[in-house]
Chain A
């Protein structure tokens, strides 16, 4: 079951780089990250790669494999033919640090800008009572392992560096959706979602949902409902009128 595979790995840094070709052994059951590690320990000791859990739970080893944003630890070698050349490149959307490692600080900056979770007071007995059906929608988004593959694949910033200033990316749009649907949170972030985090830039082409290794339905369950909630607040005269007349908080 062992064979020699041809790998093309991008090596370099901000000053430049190129795809380098390696021939490397592959064993049964291995994933791309195993092969990268083998390169590291046998042929290229200083090959930079970011990884942690190697079980698809931490979201560190994001890269592009044959042009598709993937977790290296969850891409099995058996999905490629033995004769097929496997090309591994760093995430394109972020500045490269070295080899397969990119500077993902954009994501941490956006995360820090989101108005923090603010809960309603606890009940008299010191608990927060919530039903399972009420927490499930936000729970889906909290599955996010922050691999930033959705950020990488999103054309809004992938193809337009200048949009990074005005667009938070799918990861943080679903964070906004999570907070907006959170049963305990009392802050309305819908104006910010549109004005500060660039919800309107999303043209719902769904690449984020396609690449999500956790299978989160970012577009259908997160971004589109958030767009609808923003419509409620900003573009729907009926809802607007209703809220003025009845003077009650949403929901």
Chain B
């Protein structure tokens, strides 16, 4: 079979054209499949009877699998594992903390210690444990139905809790954007404070002051009389408005951080808190720490806290009825705060921990002493022995001195 050159050329040309047309008509458009994976919370209904039959109490030590709030009492650290319970750590030597035991507490998010009695929430109830012997921690009291905002029905037989979970789903040919809106992010836990009271962080929702336990939920301040430490009694609930985040006691006042501002309450009469002032600002998350003259408030942007800016605000509270904004400093992503004399620690989330000299409150930004960037920090508790820093990766302790940098003593890491 003889094929001439011109025939070959035609063949090639025809084949090329056919090929080209086929490609153009059918295949040549890009395809995209987008997969979203995110943490969220799904509502879970629980029957009160089932919840009350759940195991509560001390068990053997467990490695941390997540960190929640932290509370310091004497030489012990209490680390909340959100929804599960509390790790008890012997912190006599901050450079080698020992994991003593774990207290199983379903639905636990917060805690406070008052003279050998540990208070912990357990969904709708408040529990009191005798911790005078750490080897034998005993449940001594259960105050029932004191956090009623979780109830799902009028008969109070069912309540709603939220379970953290990871959701993955895919879509084809979606418009390209990063889709955050409408996703409910997990709000996990975040920390606690308080004579023979212990000390919590600036992100606490439980605090002890003047023989009362104050607990804030989303929209109210709930008071418990703890004059008999082992027998907490519910006194009353004070409505506060929405978005209550943190509570910090100082002298005879409570400073309550909310998503819309800072509330100052007079607890001169501890059973009858009276509102002194509400300092309002843009919507943001805002833990508060306080000394005699000033309040330091962090405002954080991000989805949990709606919009907002990343700021550290300094308020003059010498007249607590009329708090005045003195100055606002730009921050990266500030979370919890800690005050130790004239040094202020600011947790910058994924950006680490900053230490400022605050003798001159009008020039804090130019007095950054130190910035630790290799550890994520969410809240901080400065104590005499060590500075305790809590982050999603665990709990680290640093030795501090006025003139030198922080020295890392130890870290209790979250098990991978």
Are these two chains actual partners, yes or no?
no
A residues neighboring B (CB under 8 Å): none
Q: Identify the B interface with A (CB < 8 A).
A: none
